[in-house]
Structure 1
Amino acid sequence: MKRIILLTVALYQICLAFAQWGPQSKVESHSLQSKVLGTEREYTIYLPKSYEAETDRKYPILYLLHGMTDTDKAWFWRGHVHEVMDQLVASGEAVEMIIVSPNAGGSFEEGNWNGYFDMPGWKYETFFFTEFLPHIESTYRVTGGKSHRSVAGLSMGGGGAAAYAQKHPELFSSAYAISALMNIPEHGAAQPREPGDKLAILTQSVKDNSCVKYVIEADEECKKQLRTVKWFVDCGDDDFLLDRNIEFFQAMRKAHIPCEFRMRDGGHTWEYFHSALYTCLPFLSRNFGK
């Protein structure tokens, strides 16, 4: 009997070891040359565990946008989206998907542009839809189509995610905005040093692309299209952007556009952004294929 127990334990340990040595998810960093921006742009991409083994399989995709002064690496280095995704897939709470984060930022002190909109000297929105998205979906095995494509982001990227889904509801099944820069807040935001600097240009672009204003001014046909997207807004009770997120939710309610809203304990921090993934990724998963 003792030998049987020992043998069972040994087989169990072998199975665990084999599972660890089996196919694993991957995180890769690449770049593409942009004619629109006139420069090379980096991106970081997560490929699920089965990607290399199941070579005929295609996957839904999440475009995950970072915040101001961060880069495409932030969600992976600081948000640990790779580890969270593996955990949620293993528990059955999320489906396997490709996650890609494009670089739309960097340090202002090093002369980098920031922002997901078109602005003087930085046509990022044009780049995203005419170059980046087509490049990703032709390079990787993406299922394609609205029902298998989603967008999410934090802070500047949360506003970018909401705005992209507003302007292109035909492309995205769902949008998840975390601590989102829906409009410029009255207090707490970084202040431009002087008119015309890159932060000032970004600030003006956020005002020009206000997600709140977009809903308020939407006509009935636009509202009808916005209702085809599944919306989720997630913001901390101590976040300096909370009022702007509440205003967005209120505008959506008044327009009769379904939108889930969560206010949790926390501020504008990576602890909060990271924790949001445990709600974000299952939410997006549930809405793929619909």
Structure 2
Amino acid sequence: MKTQLDPLPMKMKLLLSILILSLIGINSKAQEALFGAQQIISPEIHDDSSVTFRFFAPSAKSIQVTGDFLPTVKIESPMGEMDGPGKAELTKDDKGVWSFTSEALSPELYSYSFIVDGLKTTDPNNPFLTRDVASVTNVFIAGEGQAALYRVKDVPHGTVSRRWYDSPGLGMDRRLTIYTPPGYEQSNEKFPVLYLLHGAGGDEEAWIALGRTAQIMDNLIAQGKAKPMIVVMPNGNVIQDAAPGEGSEGMYKPAFMIPKTMDGTYEGSFKDVIKFVESNYQVKADKADRAIAGLSMGGYHTMHISRYYPNTFDYMGLFSAAIMPREDATNSVYSDIDGTLKTQMDNGYKLYWIAIGKTDFLYDANKEYRAKLDTMGMPYEYVESEGGHIWRNWRVYLTQFVPQLFN
């Protein structure tokens, strides 16, 4: 007499049934997400680089699009009157879809949002977003030309990593973002380093996300326009160990100006960053192979770090830089600005590069600073562009500055 063995004991059958039901539920949710999405193309980039934006809202009374592809308007900000994105009205069709088509746009990476009955919101049909301080906007790239440097191309790619380093000067472990060039992991070569600093309200994510640093570096290196180099993007907010949501303080709303901003603490502790990089990466640890650059607050930090450590960097880039400290700044970092600038000049360097837009609110401060350098006889190169205090300029400045390094 044969005994037929049950291939699946009861407990296993029960577990299998639960698993199957769970998978069915997950699949249903996935299908819901797929088929519940709006079947609308927005933004739609046309062959002439005009762009159509669409938003489905049958009950809305008015919808506008706002973004840096539109003519700028003056807005009030914590830093005073600045250039801001304009607005354009969308029109509604009989299906409840609102739309607006722009003029042909020059090649660039653009950001935008919608305003629906007065409420600012992102585009539900565009999953590509960036955060600037606490504002989240959609992005798109139109055209080639300059914009081609911001695209991912079929070229060798570098590596972007987030690392934690010990900062004795700030009494904490801190996070930074590092780009290493294509082939770094397989190479025994030592590379030069660019320290790239963000502006007020930014963090170690700003240059890699808003500045398109990895794409720019990959493309410039592939074109032979830039030397392979390591790019270090630290967090310049000394009370943070990392960007909001990435550090020990958890998830909180980012702020533009936080305590101890631009008070000399960051400049005084910056050697902690250099020490970590030169202890953990294949780098050429000498002045001729170090560069430092930054935008706005990062330009301020660049100016003061490079003169406070006046024999450390051969290349400096000040992008739309804030310049002089507040009158109430008492940190010893600011105690002898002219003297340390003279020492920096006397030690010699290869490039001191200043760039700013004609309508930047910091234009006059940069003009005064250049007059100071002229009086001292301190050599520099100067670039003046259209526009104001905007990422469009800072990305361009990076593409202009990097090819001049380490030659």
Higher CA-based Rg: 2
TM-score of the superposed pair, with normalisation by structure 2 = 0.54
Q: How many residue pairs align between the two structures?
A: 241
- Higher normalized contact order (CA 8 Å, seq sep 6+, divided by chain length): 1
Work out whether residues 59 and 98 of structure 1, in 8 Å CA contact, stay in contact via their aligned partners in 2: yes
The structure in which a higher percent of residues are strand is: 2
| Gapped regions of structure 2 (runs ≥ 5) | 1-152, 238-242, 244-252
> Structure 1 residues 258, 239: closer, same or farther in 2, change over 3 A?
same
Cα distance in 2 between the residues matched to 1:28 and 1:182:
31
Q: 3-state DSSP class of the match of 1:29?
A: strand
How far apart are residue 46 of structure 1 and its match?
0.2
- Aligned counterpart, 1:40: 173
Output one character per residue of 1:163-203: Cα deviation in whole Å (capped at 9) or x when no partner. Answer: 1112223110110100000126xxxxxxxxxxxxxxxxx88
- Aligned counterpart, 2:106: none
- Aligned counterpart, 1:182: 323
- Aligned counterpart, 1:133: 274
> Structure 1 residues 204, 103: closer, same or farther in 2, change over 3 A?
farther
Output one character per residue of 1:226-267: Cα deviation in whole Å (capped at 9) or x when no partner. Answer: x43520100000100011111111111111111011111011
How far apart are residue 284 of structure 1 and its match?
2.1
Instruction: Name the amino acid aligned to 1:244.
Output: A
In the alignment, is residue 276 of structure 1 matched against residue 393 of structure 2? no
Cα distance in 1 between the residues matched to 2:157 and 2:225:
18
> Structure 1 residues 59, 266: closer, same or farther in 2, change over 3 A?
same
> Structure 1 residues 95, 164: closer, same or farther in 2, change over 3 A?
same
Output one character per residue of 1:136-176: Cα deviation in whole Å (capped at 9) or x when no partner. Answer: 11101111100000100000000111111122231101101
> Structure 1 residues 60, 77: closer, same or farther in 2, change over 3 A?
same
Cα distance in 2 between the residues matched to 1:58 and 1:219:
30
Cα distance in 2 between the residues matched to 1:205 and 1:253:
25
**Coordinate RMSD, CA, aligned:** 2.9
Instruction: Name the amino acid aligned to 1:66.
Output: H
How far apart are residue 126 of structure 1 and its match?
3.1
How far apart are residue 112 of structure 1 and its match?
4.8
> Structure 1 residues 33, 208: closer, same or farther in 2, change over 3 A?
closer
> Structure 1 residues 66, 114: closer, same or farther in 2, change over 3 A?
farther
Cα distance in 2 between the residues matched to 1:142 and 1:33:
19
Cα distance in 2 between the residues matched to 1:151 and 1:206:
24
Q: 3-state DSSP class of the match of 2:175?
A: strand
Residues 49-60 of structure 1: matches in 2 within 5 Å? Answer: 49-54=182-187, 56-60=188-192
How far apart are residue 210 of structure 1 and its match?
6.7
Work out whether residues 179 and 232 of structure 2, in 8 Å CA contact, stay in contact via their aligned partners in 1: yes
- Aligned counterpart, 1:259: 380
Residues 1-290 of structure 1: matches in 2 within 5 Å? Answer: 24-54=157-187, 56-105=188-237, 109=255, 112-113=258-259, 115=261, 117-118=263-264, 123-129=265-271, 131-183=272-324, 204-205=328-329, 214-215=337-338, 223-225=345-347, 227-286=348-407
The structure in which a higher percent of residues are helix is: 1
Output one character per residue of 1:258-289: Cα deviation in whole Å (capped at 9) or x when no partner. Answer: 10111110110111111111111012243xxx
Q: 3-state DSSP class of the match of 1:76?
A: helix
Cα distance in 1 between the residues matched to 2:179 and 2:273:
16
Work out whether residues 60 and 98 of structure 1, in 8 Å CA contact, stay in contact via their aligned partners in 2: yes
How far apart are residue 204 of structure 1 and its match?
4.1
Cα distance in 2 between the residues matched to 1:219 and 1:177:
14
**Segment of structure 1 superposing worse, 258-267 or 24-33:** 24-33
- Aligned counterpart, 1:13: none
Output one character per residue of 1:53-95: Cα deviation in whole Å (capped at 9) or x when no partner. Answer: 21x1110000111101100110000000111111111111110
Identity %: 29
How far apart are residue 115 of structure 1 and its match?
3.7
| Gapped regions of structure 1 (runs ≥ 5) | 1-18, 185-201
Cα distance in 2 between the residues matched to 1:146 and 1:42:
24
> Structure 1 residues 234, 207: closer, same or farther in 2, change over 3 A?
farther
- Aligned counterpart, 2:125: none
TM-score of the superposed pair, with normalisation by structure 1 = 0.74
